[in-house]
């Protein structure tokens, strides 16, 4: 019956969302900050966390090309509305972190959801597939995992809100082809794992940080299978907008 199908779809999509949350980064505290009080507006800015001082920042836009299965996927990265999240991604691309990494999670049933990759542990073909989704980028300078705060700019806002989900519509919504950071339940736990949406997923808006969109090659994204690898990732435009020295 139709109502049974709706229930099944809701349950499966709920499980799929949980997979983004639970496998976004390595295990850590799940303490989350409270959402805004009823009636509070997210247009009120949240100060940028102190830990962002040493993180890369993208002052403007950049273009990144991923090559998967021999075909290009072009991503326009938006540092105007998500400077820390975009800067982290462009910096990791520029360092070659994503070269050879596997897409460890692909969810298309019961309806298109996301393809997810970016776990550095996936470079090793002998690493157990069941454990992929637990790793993040280990910064050689600190020998610890780089983590970035949740960063979401409300539509019409002048600055992003940090370290908490927002209730207002975001400037960068989860439309088909959105590129966003995976994280654990802690808002400030994103590292290197990212996902690309296979459909409009507005129920993720305000909870995960979108930082760009696929502008060419969605037909390639649509064909990605679990276990496919990013053959190469490169910044083709806008590298001069990347600020790594604070």
Q: How many CA atoms lie within 13 A of 35 on its CB side?
A: 8
Q: What is the mean pLDDT of residues 171-186?
A: 97
Contact 159, 75 (CB under 8 A): no
For the cut 80, the answer to whether the pLDDT of residue 174 exceeds it is: yes
pLDDT digits (tens, 9 = 90+) for 51-99: 677 899 999 999 999 999 999 999 999 999 999 999 999 999 999 999 9
Identify the pLDDT of residue 3.
44
pLDDT digits (tens, 9 = 90+) for 192-229: 999 999 999 999 999 999 999 999 999 999 999 999 99
Name the 3-class secondary structure at 142: coil
**Token pair 């157990």 in the structure block, residue:** 128
Ranked by mean pLDDT, the top range of 19-28, 32-41, 117-126 is 117-126
Identify the pLDDT of residue 188.
95
Tell whether the torsion through CA atoms of 19, 25, 27 and 33 is positive or negative: negative
C-alpha gyration radius of the chain: 17
For the cut 90, the answer to whether the pLDDT of residue 44 exceeds it is: no
Contact 149, 181 (CB under 8 A): no
Predicted TM-score (pTM) of this structure: 0.85
Confidence of residue 30 (pLDDT cuts 50, 70, 90): very low
Whole-number average pLDDT of the chain: 86
Nearest one of 225, 212, 139 to 181, comparing CA atoms: 212
Residue 82 CA to residue 85 CA, distance in Å, equals: 6
Sketch out the chain's domains with CATH numbers.
Answer: 2-26+53-243 (2.40.100.10)
């Amino acid at each position: 019956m139709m109502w049974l199908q709706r229930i099944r779809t809701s349950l499966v999509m709920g499980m799929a969302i949980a997979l983004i949350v639970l496998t976004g980064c390595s295990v850590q505290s799940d303490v989350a900050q409270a959402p805004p009080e009823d009636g509070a507006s997210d247009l009120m800015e949240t100060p940028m966390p102190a830990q962002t001082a040493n993180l890369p920042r993208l002052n403007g836009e950049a273009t990144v090309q991923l090559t998967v299965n021999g075909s290009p996927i072009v991503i326009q990265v938006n540092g105007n509305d998500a400077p820390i999240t975009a800067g982290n991604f462009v910096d990791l691309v520029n360092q070659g972190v994503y070269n050879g990494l596997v897409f460890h999670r692909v969810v298309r049933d019961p309806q298109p959801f996301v393809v997810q990759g970016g776990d550095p542990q996936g470079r090793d073909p002998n690493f157990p597939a069941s454990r992929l989704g637990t790793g993040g980028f280990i910064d050689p300078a600190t020998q610890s995992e780089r983590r970035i705060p949740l960063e979401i700019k409300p539509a019409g806002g002048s600055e992003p809100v940090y370290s908490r989900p927002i209730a207002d519509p975001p400037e960068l919504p989860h439309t088909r082809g959105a590129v966003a950071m995976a994280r654990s339940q802690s808002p400030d736990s994103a590292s290197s794992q990212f996902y690309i949406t296979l459909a409009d997923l507005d129920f993720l808006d305000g909870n995960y940080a979108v930082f760009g969109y696929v502008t060419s090659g969605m037909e390639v994204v649509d064909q990605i299978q679990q276990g496919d690898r990013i053959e190469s990732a490169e910044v083709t435009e806008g590298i001069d907008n990347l600020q790594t020295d604070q």
